[in-house]
Structure 1
Amino acid sequence: MPTSQASPAKVLLGLLAAGPSHGHALKQRYDTHFPETRPPAYAQVHATLQDLVRDGLAAQDAAAGGGPERAGYRITPRGRAQLQAWLHEIVRPAPFVADQILTKAVVAVLAGSADAAAAYLDAQHTAHVTRIEHLEAARSAPGATRATVLSADYALHHLAADLEWMNELAGRLDALVMELKTR
């Protein structure tokens, strides 16, 4: 099962599939349609577009252009084929979602104490709650787009599951400490 992620290149190909566009407009559409993702910088968008051209997945479109600083781009048939292949890939369900949190808790126990692990879990819990508050505000803001609401809902479900799991880990921390000390 492929593990392909939504790279900026794939997203830009998808945006170009809707029609030729300038890099600046593509960046704005990216930010609008994917508001809760890490936005690419303008320089990254332009560098990625050049990579897509180099790889034959996009071409500069003179009709959409307005000089070098306003170069237009369009998807090529090869780019459309690669986009369709990517769209049909199944995203691997992440079996180790909380791996980093558990790893840090175990290392905190091994390097210090249960108190260090508990302090880390408390800090991580606070960070999750802060992120949840931000997402709830974003999804209920006046004018929130459907993409914003759906993106926030997805993240909120995952954060809620993380919080539930962290609470279970905190409740089992003493047993974890005992097990680690006996190994």
Structure 2
Amino acid sequence: MSVSRTLLGLLETGSTHGYDLKRAHDELFRSERPLAYGQVYATLARLLKNGLVSVEGSEAGDGPDRKRYNITDAGVTDLDDWLRTPERPAEYLQNTLYTKVLVALMSHRSAGEILDAQRAEHLGAMREYTRRKQTGDLADQLICDHALFHLEADLKWLDITASRLAELAEQPGLADR
């Protein structure tokens, strides 16, 4: 996720303070890890330096003055370009689980146990996303659907791999170790 572009998108709805941007981000995107205030202000400083946002003014508060940020025309253009550029699908050709299966086979450990443990982990995550989807608003339902579809694909891979373990163990390079 691009924090800078996300903040630009939030600013496009109207000028605001960094504190309010952080709150809006965490509320809308409900990440497992909320944005840190330091990350928000560091990102705003970069956007300001690059001419994508401007400071509309500042207000006195209990602590330091609160700057009100506004998106610039260059920021709108940057955001528009980012939104129109398709995302490259994630590469799944080398991931940790695949590596664990091969290492287990090479070291004569049970790759089946690794796959079974991972299947249980995926099913637990699916139950959690399903619960969250049932109680969430539309935005929560959409992100949970995204996660559930990816978990379903992973489960299919786990099943196919489990059915091929004996054949995979006979592959040159694995069988010799």
Smaller-chain TM-score bracket: 0.7 to 0.9
Deviation, 1:38, is 4.1
Task: Identify which of 152, 175, 182 aligns with 2:167.
Answer: 175
Shift of 1:100: 3.1
The equivalent residue for 1:150 is 142
1:57 partnered with 2:52: yes
Task: Kindly indicate whether residue 116 of structure 2 is the aligned counterpart of residue 122 of structure 1.
Answer: yes
Following superposition, the deviation at residue 114 of structure 1 comes to 4.4
More moved, 18-27 vs 99-108: 99-108
Matches within 5 A, 1:19-98: 19-36=14-31, 38-62=33-57, 65-67=58-60, 68-96=64-92
How does the TM-score come out when normalised to structure 1? Answer: 0.85
Deviations 1:46-81 (A, max 9, x none): 11111111111111121xx32345221111111111
Cα distance in 1 between the residues matched to 2:144 and 2:101: 27
What is the one-letter code of the residue matched to 1:72?
R
The match for 1:3 is none
Structure 2 length as normaliser, TM-score? 0.87
Q: Aligned match of 2:9 in 1, 9, 14? A: 14
**Structure 2 CA distance for aligned equivalents of residues 159 and 127 of structure 1:** 10
**Structure-2 change in CA distance of 1:100 and 1:150 (3 Å):** same
Q: CA RMSD in A?
A: 1.9
Helix, strand or coil at the partner of 1:181? coil
**How far apart, CA to CA, are the structure 2 residues paired with 1:46 and 1:126?**
40
Aligned residues: 172
What is the alpha-carbon distance in structure 2 between the residues aligned to residue 146 and residue 36 of structure 1?
A: 15
Runs of 4+ with >6 A deviation: none
Higher-Rg structure is 2
Q: Aligned AA for 2:123?
A: V
Deviation, structure 1 residue 126: 2.1
Q: Which amino acid aligns with 2:116?
A: D
Tell which has more relative contact order, 1 or 2 (C-alpha 8 A, sep 6+).
Answer: 1
Percent of aligned positions with the same letter in both sequences?
37
